[in-house]
Structure 1
Amino acid sequence: MGWTGFAVVFAAFFLTHSIPVRPAVKSRLVSVIGLRGFGVAYSLLSVGMLALLIRSAGQAPYLQLWPQMEWHRHAAHLGMLAVCLILALGVARPNPFSFGGARNDSFDPDRPGIVGWTRHPILLALALWAGVHLLPNGDLAHVILFGVLGGFALAGRRLIDRRKRRVLGASQWAALDADRKAAPWVHAPRSWPVLALRLLTGVAAFAALLLAHPHVIGVSAW
């Protein structure tokens, strides 16, 4: 695959992420397959396109910017464990500040969980994922890939903040954010079994990614 093919896949990746969530398109899709069906379909599409994009970066012309060192891989493993734990703690939990939240009306700013650390745990995980993958992938195509995706995740925080301020109202958003920041960083969870299950899920996801990496991405994570 040449640079043109890589650029085409990159463009397709962003199109498939942006078009389905446009209000008019999303409402039409939801009316056909339902909100849950849309969420599942969009998630599968996102993961599939991401895997295709990573494969295309591996097939692009190789131009080394820095060599891979052994500690790069160890740092990537530790970083990915953190990514999986952040996702396990942040997905499908009350979070009125970002996307991916569930039961947002039950959000307790005095016990915000991981939302007390960051308003956007999923975007933080994406930025960290991109950052740790830059270390062992020092060729131009992968630097472009992970650099753009990491920058996209960081820039997305401000976009979502503006959107949520409009939805909630500036005063309510500011009050919730102030209460979130004032809460203890470490506090007792609502449910210890649920917390344990989320942490175990994160570790299991990390192990699954290590095993699936050569089959999905085409390169061993080891």
Structure 2
Amino acid sequence: MALLLVGLFLFIGVHCIRPFAPDLRESMIEQLGARNWKLLYSAVAIVGLLTTIMGYGYARYSAVWLWTPPVWSRHVAALLILVAFIYLAVAKMPYSKMKQMGGHPMLIGVKLWAFAHLISNGSSADVVLFGAFLAWAVADYAISKRRDREAGVTYEAPNMKYDLIAVVIGTVAFALFAFYLHPILIGVAPFAI
């Protein structure tokens, strides 16, 4: 579990700098330069992500089962994760009704992904991993929305074409990951019969 906690500290910690310590971020950019700051940020995030993945892999084998999720939770989780993939696709679209309505679609996608995994998994490793991501995404979303209101940020006029593109891309990515990559990368087949 320690390796998982170190990975989460690095990955989520570096992602907390902008919302929780913007002055530190600006100071680092001034000292290191924008390019070097991005390289350092990316390096810490990558090391944190890889450490989180390895730590979760080890923690799963010694995790304590806190509850047994009901069967219905798998179906709800699948639907939520499909929507999460769509929101991740929306994050890359220049114009979107979904982006205009909610703002920060990447954080919405992370919240849905983490919540879906929390309701459909019941081990202590799952609670630590997905709970940490959910807590970070909820806090970052609230701070980002407040920052947008204070700065008067508005999103471009929506174009439904980009929402449709995001739905197609998100659905294809979800199917590819759920049926092919999840079993290979995570070791769990979400739709095993």
TM tier relative to shorter chain: 0.7 to 0.9
2:76 equivalent to 1:75 = yes
- Checking the alignment, whether the CA contact within 8 Å between 1:58 and 1:141 is kept in structure 2 is no
Within the candidate set 146, 164, 174, 2:148 is matched to 164
User: Is 1:221 aligned to residue 190 of structure 2?
Assistant: yes
Indicate the RMSD between aligned Cα atoms, in angstroms. 3.4
Q: Aligned runs of 1:42-81 on 2, under 5 Å?
A: 42=42, 46=45, 49-50=48-49, 52-60=51-59, 61-81=62-82
Distance 1:191 1:73, change over 3 A: closer
More helix by share: 2
Give the CA deviation at 1:139: 0.8
Pairwise CA distance, 1:59: 1.8
Matching residue's letter, 1:17:
H
In structure 2, what is the Cα distance between the partners aligned to 1:220 and 1:29? Answer: 44
How far apart are residue 208 of structure 1 and its match?
Answer: 2.1
The equivalent residue for 2:181 is: 212
Q: 2:165 maps to which residue?
A: 197
CA separation in 1, counterparts of 2:4 and 2:160? 46
Distance in 2 (CA, whole Å) between partners of 1:113 and 1:92 is 10
1:195/1:119 Cα in 2 relative to 1: closer, same or farther (>3 Å)?
Answer: closer
User: How far apart are 1:143 and its partner, in Å?
Assistant: 0.8
Aligned partners of 1:217 and 1:45: how far apart in 2? 22
Listed as ranges, the gaps of 5+ residues in structure 2 are: none
- The answer to whether the Cα contact below 8 Å between 1:76 and 1:133 also exists between their aligned partners in 2 is yes
Deviation at 1:85, TM superposition (A): 1.3
What is the total number of aligned residue pairs between the two structures? 181
Question: Runs of 5+ in structure 1 lacking a partner?
Answer: 95-111, 184-188
Residue pair 2:84, 2:109 contacting (<8 A) in 1 also: yes
Query: Superposition pairs for residues 42-191 of structure 1, below 5 Å?
Result: 42=42, 46=45, 49-50=48-49, 52-60=51-59, 61-93=62-94, 113-165=97-149, 168=151, 172-173=152-153, 176=154, 190=159
Does the 8 Å contact 2:12/2:136 carry over to 1?
A: no
Question: Which residue matches 1:103?
Answer: none
Aligned equivalents of 1:32, 1:155: Cα separation in 2: 27
